[in-house]
Structure 1
Amino acid sequence: VASYFLSEFNMVCSASVKTQVVETMGLFHDIVSESCENYFQRYRRRAYVTPKSYLSFINGYKEVYTEKLESINEQAERMQIGLSKLMEASESVAKLSQELAIKEKELALASIKADKVLAEVTESAKAAAKVKNEVQGVKDKAQKIVDEIDLEKVKAETKLEAAKPALEEAEAALN
């Protein structure tokens, strides 16, 4: 009976395992029948195992098997999705690691170039400061000379002013 009802039922197993399941179901039915007889011997009450109860047992097995199989398939699908995402993440991490290595090399080169430029700018700034100091020195000397010339000019103008009345007298005497 079990082989008839389970022959069309799809089970994920080999034919020998399916045969053993059928035999086990028959064995369970026989054990339940014996237990009912023992129950009668012991308590003088009858409990019956009917063909309907056996068919219900087979249908119950099929329902439980189907539910468990669906649950296992869902878990397998989730696991497969998780594994594929892990693989994608692994590939992404590897790719990003390669990009990071390239960027680190570029950064090292840029850092070296920046250090060179900074050294050049620092040297240029030192040279500019030196030139500025020299120019300031020349400017200070020139200002000193200008100040001396102004002082001499003031002295000369003072002497000229002092000599002007004498010049005017001399011009007047000539006229």
Structure 2
Amino acid sequence: LRPKIVDHFKNVHMAVRHSSAEYLSSVRRYNYVSPKNYLDFIQNYKSQLGSKRTDNEEMTKRLDGGLSKLIQAADEVAKMQVELAEKTVVVEAKSAECEVMLADIAKNTEDAVEKQTVAQAKDEELAILSEKIAIQKVEAEAGLASAMPALEEAAEALNNLKKDDITEIRSFAKPHPLVGQVCECVCIFKKVDDVSWKGAKAMMQDSGFLASLVNFNKDG
């Protein structure tokens, strides 16, 4: 390339000299072409060449820097893609766990609502039952209060009952209906299986029968 440049310098210089001769011939004016012009031409070329080389070197450095950054960015992107793939697996696993957890929460919530509904129904039933029990308690207390005089009268009569009276009752082949009912009730209170008149007579044969009546727990 250098010989061609040298030839170019020579040809340009000679062309200027030729043009200067034509210029003198046509307009009668001189355009001097000296060796200094040739040297200035070469110096100007060298200056431009150095400037362009500097520019090219700067551009090359910038290009190298850009390429380095692109390569670095490509490496970082590759690493991030690997990390992204790993994290995607983790995220998918966590998402599956969350779905299972949400399903459990939904089921537990449904069970809780159902249990709350059942509990509310039970509370309503208990409230109704408590009201009924309170009414029955009042009625029972009223009945007990009305029965107390009869109970006290029966206890007094029981204290006046003699062993001979028991013997007399046992001698009945067929007791009076009221006597039969009383004996049947006594059988029930004393948990005698046979509540017939025959069973009642067998119950009264016990020597401690009268004492058991006197000592019977009337409050139980």
TM tier relative to shorter chain: 0.7 to 0.9
- Cα separation, 2, equivalents of 1:44 and 1:138: 132
Structure 2 partner of 1:87: 71
Structure 1 partner of 2:83: 99
Alignment map for 1:136-175 (pairs within 5 Å): 136-159=120-143
- Cα separation, 2, equivalents of 1:103 and 1:150: 67
Question: Is 1:115 matched with 2:99?
Answer: yes
Shift, 1:141, TM fit? 3.0
Give, as a single letter, the amino acid of the residue that structure 1 aligns with 2:104. Answer: E
- Cα separation, 2, equivalents of 1:155 and 1:31: 145
- Cα separation, 2, equivalents of 1:115 and 1:142: 40
Alignment partner of 2:36 out of 36, 41, 52 = 52
Structure 2 partner of 1:18: 2
Shift, 1:35, TM fit? 1.2
Q: Give the share of equivalent positions with the same residue, in percent.
A: 30
Deviations 1:37-64 (CA, angstroms, capped at 9, x unpaired): 1111112222111111111111111111
Structure 2 partner of 1:11: none
Shift, 1:150, TM fit? 1.0
Shift, 1:136, TM fit? 3.4
Normalised by the length of structure 2, the TM-score is: 0.61
- Cα separation, 1, equivalents of 2:58 and 2:123: 91
Give, as a single letter, the amino acid of the residue that structure 1 aligns with 2:48. Answer: V
Unaligned runs of 5+ in 1: 1-16, 171-175
Structure 1 partner of 2:13: 29
Alignment partner of 1:130 out of 114, 119, 129 = 114
Give, as a single letter, the amino acid of the residue that structure 1 aligns with 2:49. Answer: Y
SS of the residue 1:48 aligns to: coil
Structure 1 partner of 2:210: none
Normalised by the length of structure 1, the TM-score is: 0.74
- Cα separation, 2, equivalents of 1:158 and 1:90: 98
Alignment root-mean-square deviation, CA: 2.7
Deviations 1:98-122 (CA, angstroms, capped at 9, x unpaired): 2222222211111111111111222
SS of the residue 1:135 aligns to: helix
Unaligned runs of 5+ in 2: 154-220
- Cα separation, 1, equivalents of 2:117 and 2:30: 124
Give, as a single letter, the amino acid of the residue that structure 2 aligns with 1:76. Answer: T
SS of the residue 1:47 aligns to: coil
